[in-house]
């Protein structure tokens, strides 16, 4: 029955402003927002088709980097640079390379692990010690991957994002400016532009009974056909510390979830405020 109902509220453009963000053209192809998730791997492959975009051959993979490494203007440096620091997400992280001050240099700190070469890492990205990034993955300009972060592959991470300390991301999309700064889990999910996850937020993606995720909207239950479906979080939304979204949460733009709340699966309209009773 649900397939014959025109639910415009489930379209990607009901959650995200797609015209000016990274990956918007790809997300906009789908009529229901969760359908993009099984295709993230193939989207990554499409974006990694040009070999010049892949991780340079002279950067070691599958081992912790022994030397802090800078990529700038297509060249790889393990010396002749000075890191001045700053905030990469605000464009203030600066490096002196060959005597020139720049905020476009990518910094891979000693101790981080790049698991394979199927990685496209943008300008001004900072990857801190202890972070591990598996391909395929695309990481946009000015993004910060903090100490202990785990990017598990099939990830599209936009510009000026934060993948925080001990945060895990797998088969997910973070649109420009999305931030998960501390102890988060993001599985089979999409974070809209400027979404912020407080410390300890978990976007659960698998039901405890391992059954297919169904989404209830307007008293109709929609079978997604997916056993792994985390959360779709609309642009500008905030989720408070230690909150958990159950599988199949669709949260409209500019919504807010109070700290410590467990959000049942289902559709929530734009601007909603969810708190414990």
Q: What is the pLDDT of residues 118-163, one digit of tens each?
A: 999 999 999 999 999 999 999 999 999 999 999 999 999 999 999 9
What is the helix (H) or strand (E) element at residue 43, kind and residue range? helix 40-47
Is 78 within the bounds of a domain?
A: no
In contact, 37 and 44? CB cutoff 8 Å:
no
pLDDT, tens digit (0-9, with 9 covering 90-100), for 209-221 = 999 999 988 788 9
What is the rounded radius of gyration, in angstroms, for the C-alpha atoms of the chain?
Answer: 19
Q: How many domains does the chain have?
A: 1
Give me the catalytic one of 4, 165, 182, 275: 182
Q: Among 144, 154, 227, 140, which residue's Cα sits nearest to residue 186?
A: 154
In contact, 81 and 70? CB cutoff 8 Å:
yes
182 is catalytic: yes
pLDDT at 1: 42
pLDDT at 218: 76
> Which domain CATH number covers 224?
2.160.10.10
pTM: 0.96
Q: Among 272, 153, 156, 264, which residue's Cα sits nearest to residue 213?
A: 264
Q: What is the DSSP letter of 147?
A: T
Domain range for 208 = 2-59+109-271
In contact, 110 and 130? CB cutoff 8 Å:
no
Is 79 within the bounds of a domain?
A: no
Is 164 within the bounds of a domain?
A: yes
Is 104 within the bounds of a domain?
A: no
pLDDT at 3: 47
pLDDT at 217: 86
What average pLDDT does this structure show over 79-92? 97
Is 95 within the bounds of a domain?
A: no
Percent of the chain with pLDDT over 70: 97
Is 70 within the bounds of a domain?
A: no
What average pLDDT does this structure show over 152-175? 98
Is 84 within the bounds of a domain?
A: no
Q: Are strands 137-139 and 220-223 parallel, antiparallel or unpaired?
A: unpaired
Is 206 within the bounds of a domain?
A: yes
Residue 99's CB is within 10 A of a number of other CB atoms, namely 8
């Amino acid at each position: 029955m649900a397939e014959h109902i025109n639910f415009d509220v489930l379209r990607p453009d009901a959650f995200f402003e797609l015209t000016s963000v990274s990956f918007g053209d790809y997300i906009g192809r789908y009529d229901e927002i969760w359908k993009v998730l099984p295709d993230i791997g193939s989207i990554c492959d499409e974006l990694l088709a040009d070999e010049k975009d892949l991780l340079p051959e002279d950067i070691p993979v599958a081992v912790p980097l022994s030397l802090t490494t800078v990529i700038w203007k297509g060249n790889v440096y393990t010396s002749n640079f000075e890191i001045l620091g700053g905030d990469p997400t605000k464009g203030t992280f600066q490096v002196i390379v060959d005597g020139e001050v720049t905020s476009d240099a990518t910094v891979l700190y000693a101790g981080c692990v790049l698991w394979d070469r199927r990685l496209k890492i943008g300008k001004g990205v900072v990857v801190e010690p202890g972070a591990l990034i598996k391909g395929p993955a695309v990481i946009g300009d000015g993004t910060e991957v903090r100490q202990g972060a785990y990017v598990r592959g099939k990830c599209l991470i936009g510009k000026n994002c934060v993948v925080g300390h001990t945060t895990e991301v797998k088969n997910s999309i973070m649109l420009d400016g999305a931030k998960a700064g501390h102890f988060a889990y993001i599985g089979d999910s999409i974070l809209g532009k400027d979404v912020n996850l407080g410390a300890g937020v978990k976007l659960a993606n698998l039901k405890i009974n391992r059954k297919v995720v169904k989404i209830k909207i307007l008293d109709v239950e929609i079978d997604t056909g997916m056993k792994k479906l985390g959360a779709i979080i609309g642009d500008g939304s905030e989720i408070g510390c230690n909150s958990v979204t159950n599988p199949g949460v669709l949260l409209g733009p500019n919504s807010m979830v109070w700290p410590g709340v467990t959000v049942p699966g289902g559709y929530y309209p734009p601007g909603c405020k969810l708190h414990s009773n």
